[in-house]
Structure 1
Amino acid sequence: MTNPDRSLPAPRTWTGPLMVLIGGVAIGFAPIGMRLGLGDLGPQAIAFWRYTFALPFLLALVFIIQRRPPARPNRFVFIAGTLFTLDMALWHWGLTLTTVSNATFIVNLGNVLVGFGAWYFLKQRPAPVWFAAAALAVLGAAALSLGGDSGGKGDLRGDLLAFGAAIMVSGYMLASNVARRTLGGIETIFWLTCVEVCVAGLIVAASGERFFPETLAGFRAPFSLALIAQIGGQAMIVSGLGRTSPALAGLLVLVQPVVAAAVSWRLFDEPLSGVQTGGALIILCAVWLAQRGRKPQVAVD
């Protein structure tokens, strides 16, 4: 007689981390799209339209996947959406005051802080191997961000803004993880995007940037970001958070700067130095090491 337990499929504990990893790859195209769109819109306006264009697609996906209207959001959706939007705003502001390398390195520290935040606030102690992976990730991020031309003079004000962005992104990951406990992935990202549209609109108004480009062609970059970074990137990450610990997710999304650097190399003819190439490889090793020590998560669909 066949053992009924053996006939059951094994839990797919790899699906959540894979979704987060794919989302991190997609998010890696965000700075590329931002750079391509700066001739038509300011950075805050590009972010606003990225969220706005994504919203109707996400609502349609909710009805297609869930076959019902989106469930009522919980308070952690509002916290996560606000933190993510502030992260983007502080990151863009910091880039105007300090070097790109400094800002990139500092903001990526937020992905490492997620593990410590989950340990302190959610009582989720990372696996021992995570600490080694986190140390490698910091080393790799430093080499990738600081190993090339600094592109200007650092400024403490910009560095502090980038550090603020790092705090915001770690809070966003933690709050999104908690929000996913009572909501499906697609409806969570829908409500997150609703919050981001509102907060980003206020930021654009406060910054003095214009909302509309001079021609319709100016919408190409934010529309592409809506499809790739918001729907393909952020939505995949948030969905994967229902099956992935925040600590592991924080390190997996560090594939983002590696993708951005590789695309910039080909698209903008910006080759990486030997130190930067080594940093990218170290980050990939850290990502591999982190997922080796992952703990299975209870799936939240």
Structure 2
Amino acid sequence: MWAAMLGIFLFSWGPILVRDNEFDALPFAFWRLVGAAVWAAGALHLRGGRLDARVLRHSLAGGVVFTVNAATFFTAIKTTTVANAMVIGSTAPIFLLWAASRMFNEKISLRVVVATPVAIVGMVITLLGRSEAGGQGSLAGDVLAVVAVISFSGYLVASRIARRHLSALEYQAGWSTISAALMLPVVLVSLDPLFVDDARSWVVAAIMSVTAGLAHLMVNYSQRFVPLRAISMLNMTAPGLAVLWAWFLFDEQLTGWQWLGAALVVVSVAVVVLDE
């Protein structure tokens, strides 16, 4: 559970790092995946493991759906507000609780059933408050965020299945390598420049490779020990944290209603996680 919570905390910094650089969205996603694949494969090698056909085969589904997530989420962050993208992204439990019940036969308690809609109401309040808060959201960005949340839910489900066959580090090296390879033609077709002259942007991309990579490693490690219902609820705290980081660093103004919405999300998640 501690690994899952640490991973979600690291996830919450992703949108801030994406915004704070000169890369276009797709090249940034590509370099972030390349960096994550390099250190994960290197760590696997040092541990005596191999990035072989078995690892890549079991990592394929996760790598494919995460490529969709990276392409849409990173673009959404660049075209809408951090609050919008993260609040929409936090609706993942709608899909994950269904998967937990139907695919993995997890028992969904009354507490989870009650807390989930309360948390979603909090998200809606936060999202609807953006017009009053002077946000610069866009419909296109919000639609991309919806696609991103569906694909991220698919990634978590694929990860849970893959962890039946692979260690967390094997899976990290496998899916990130596949996703980096798939992202390259997407970037080339987009015609966005792969390189920028700003050294600070490269540093940010490197930091993102490490922090996001560790976030995925921690969450995927927890997949063997923590119910998917708990991971899905924990994932809902990332939006609240990201909104706070955006408020603090980018001066994205928040109304009282948005603060209330974020509080509902955090309290609802805390109730479920403490129960677990």
TM-score if structure 2 supplies the norm length? 0.88
Of 7, 13, 24, which residue of structure 2 is paired with 1:29? 13
SS in 1 for 2:225: coil
The equivalent residue for 2:245 is 263
Q: Quick check: 2:86–2:238 contact (8 Å CA) kept in 1?
A: no
CA deviation profile, 1:242-271 (whole Å, cap 9, x unmatched): 211222111102221122122222222334
Structure 2, unpaired ranges of 5+? none
Deviation at 1:278, TM superposition (A): 1.7
Q: CA deviation at 1:209?
A: 0.9
Deviation at 1:70, TM superposition (A): 4.7
> Corresponding residue for 1:69?
50
Q: State how far apart, in whole Å, the 2-side matches of 1:154 and 1:239 are.
A: 35
Structure 1 residue 63: Cα displacement: 3.9
CA–CA distance in 1 between the matches of 2:2 and 2:27?
Answer: 31
Q: How large is the RMSD of aligned CA atoms in angstroms? A: 2.4
How many angstroms does 1:205 deviate by?
1.3
2:89 corresponds to: 107
Separation (CA, whole Å) in 1 of partners of 2:213 and 2:152 = 15
Q: Is the 8 A contact 2:90 2:238 kept in 1?
A: no
Aligned partners of 2:88 and 2:145 also within 8 Å: yes
Q: State the one-letter code of the partner of 2:168.
A: G
Given the two structures, how large is their TM-score scaled by the length of structure 1?
0.81
CA pair 122-211 structure 1, distance change in 2 beyond 3 A: same
The separation in 1 between residues aligned to 2:258 and 2:137, in whole angstroms, is 19
Question: What displacement does 1:206 show?
Answer: 1.9
Unaligned segments of structure 1, at least 5 residues: 1-16, 295-301
Is the partner of 2:91 in helix, strand or coil? helix
Please, which of 236, 255, 266 is the counterpart of residue 273 of structure 1? 255
**Where does residue 110 of structure 2 map in the other structure?**
128
CA deviations on 1:87-130 (whole Å, 9 max, x unpaired) are: 12123444577666554433321243211122223333423321
Compare CA radii of gyration and give the structure with the larger one: 1
Quickly say closer, same or farther: Cα 1:264–1:100, change in 2 above 3 A: closer
Contact 2:36 2:210 in 1 (8 A): yes
Larger deviation, residues 74-83 vs 129-138: 74-83
**Hey, what does 1:178 align to over in structure 2?**
161
Aligned to 1:247: 229
Q: How many residues align?
A: 273
- For the 8 Å contact 1:77–1:188, the answer to whether it is kept is yes
Matches within 5 A, 1:25-104: 25-37=9-21, 39=22, 41-64=23-46, 66-70=47-51, 72-73=54-55, 75-94=57-76, 102-104=84-86
Give the conservation status (yes or no) of the 8 Å contact 1:100–1:150. no
Residue in 2 aligned with 1:20? 4
**1:31 Cα shift?**
0.7
Greater fraction of residues in helix = 2
Tell me the percent identity: 23
Structure 1 CA distance, aligned partners of 2:93 and 2:275?
A: 17
